[in-house]
Amino acid sequence: MKRARIMVASVVLLLGAIATAWAAGEAPSAPLSEQTQACLACHETYLSGIPADWRTSRHSMTTPAAAQAKPTAERRISAAAVPERLRSVAVGCYECHSLNPERHKDSFDHFGFRINVVVSPNDCATCHPVEAEQYAPSKKANAFHNLKDNPVFSSLVEAVDSVKTVHAGQIASAPATDATRAETCYACHGTDVTVAGLKTVTTPLGDLQFPDLTGWPNQGVGRVNPDGSLGSCTACHPRHSFSTAIARKPYTCSQCHLEPDVPAWEIYRESKHGNIMESVGQQWNWDAVPWTVGRDITAPTCAACHVSLLAGPKGDTIAPRNHDFGGRLWIRLFGLIYSHPQPKSGRTYEIRNQDGLPLPTTWTQGLATSYLIDQKEQEARRTQMRQICASCHSTDWAEKHLSRMETTAAETDAMVRAATDVMTAAWDQGLADRSNPFDEGLEQMWVEQWLFYADSVRLSSAMMGQDLATFEHGWWSLTHNLAQMHDAVKERAGPH
Residues 150 and 42: their CA atoms lie apart, in Å, by 45
Q: By CB under 8 A, tell whether 3 contacts a copy of itself.
A: yes
Residues 305 and 326: their CA atoms lie apart, in Å, by 11
Q: Which of residues 274-303 bind a copy of itself (CB under 8 A)?
A: 274-276, 278-280, 282-285, 287, 293-295, 298
In terms of CB distance, is 270 or 324 closer to a copy of itself? Answer: 270
Residues 21 and 390: their CA atoms lie apart, in Å, by 41
In terms of CB distance, is 84 or 396 closer to a copy of itself? Answer: 396
Q: Which residue from 25, 31, 48, 317 is in contact with a copy of itself, where contact means CB under 8 A?
A: 48
User: Mask 230-269, x = binds a copy of itself (CB under 8 A)?
Assistant: --------x--x-x-xx--x-xx-xxx-xxxx-------x
Q: By CB under 8 A, tell whether 434 contacts a copy of itself.
A: no
In terms of CB distance, is 48 or 354 closer to a copy of itself? Answer: 48
In terms of CB distance, is 13 or 80 closer to a copy of itself? Answer: 13
Q: By CB under 8 A, tell whether 487 contacts a copy of itself.
A: yes
Q: By CB under 8 A, tell whether 380 contacts a copy of itself.
A: no
Q: By CB under 8 A, tell whether 404 contacts a copy of itself.
A: yes
Q: Report long-range pairs for 378-383 (Cβ below 8 Å, ≥24 apart).
A: 378/330, 378/331, 378/341, 378/342, 379/330, 381/327, 381/328, 381/329, 381/330, 381/342, 382/330
Give me the least distance between CB of 253 and a copy of itself, in Å please. 9
In terms of CB distance, is 23 or 83 closer to a copy of itself? Answer: 23
Phi, psi of 390 (to 5 degrees): -70, 0
Cα radius of gyration rounded to whole Å, the chain: 25
In terms of CB distance, is 352 or 486 closer to a copy of itself? Answer: 486
Give me the least distance between CB of 114 and a copy of itself, in Å please. 17
Give me the least distance between CB of 30 and a copy of itself, in Å please. 13
Q: Which helix (H) or strand (E) holds 380?
A: helix 375-389
Residues 258 and 426: their CA atoms lie apart, in Å, by 31
Closest CA to 235 of 186, 296, 188, 285: 188
Residues 34 and 39: their CA atoms lie apart, in Å, by 9
10 Å CB burial of residue 7 (0-12, 13-18, 19+) is exposed
Q: By CB under 8 A, tell whether 152 contacts a copy of itself.
A: no
Q: Which of residues 451-480 bind a copy of itself (CB under 8 A)?
A: 451-452, 460-461, 464, 466-467, 469-472, 474-476, 479-480
Q: Which residue from 31, 34, 52, 175 is in contact with a copy of itself, where contact means CB under 8 A?
A: 52
CA within 13 Å, CB half, 223: 27
Give me the least distance between CB of 344 and a copy of itself, in Å please. 28
Alpha-carbon torsion angle 125, 92, 113, 127, nearest 10: -20
The amino acid at 252: T
Q: Which of residues 159-218 bind a copy of itself (CB under 8 A)?
A: 159-166, 169, 171, 177, 179-180, 182-185, 187-188, 199, 201-203, 210, 212-213, 216-217
Give the per-residue SS3 of 8-53: HHHHHHHHHHHHHHHHHHHCCCCCCCHHHHHHHHHHCCCCCHHHHH
In terms of CB distance, is 369 or 387 closer to a copy of itself? Answer: 387
Cβ atoms of residues 351 and 368 within 8 Å: yes
List the beta bridge partners of residue 109: 114
How many residues bind a copy of itself, per CB under 8 A? Answer: 156
Give me the least distance between CB of 163 and a copy of itself, in Å please. 5
In terms of CB distance, is 69 or 179 closer to a copy of itself? Answer: 179
Q: Which of residues 111-140 bind a copy of itself (CB under 8 A)?
A: 117
Residues 70 and 409: their CA atoms lie apart, in Å, by 44
Give me the least distance between CB of 18 and a copy of itself, in Å please. 7
Q: By CB under 8 A, tell whether 307 contacts a copy of itself.
A: no
Phi, psi of 174 (to 5 degrees): -100, 145
User: Mask 6-45, x = binds a copy of itself (CB under 8 A)?
Assistant: xxxxxxxxxxx-xxx-xx--x-x---------------xx
| Opening angle at CA 129, ends 128 and 132, nearest 5 | 90
Give me the least distance between CB of 314 and a copy of itself, in Å please. 7
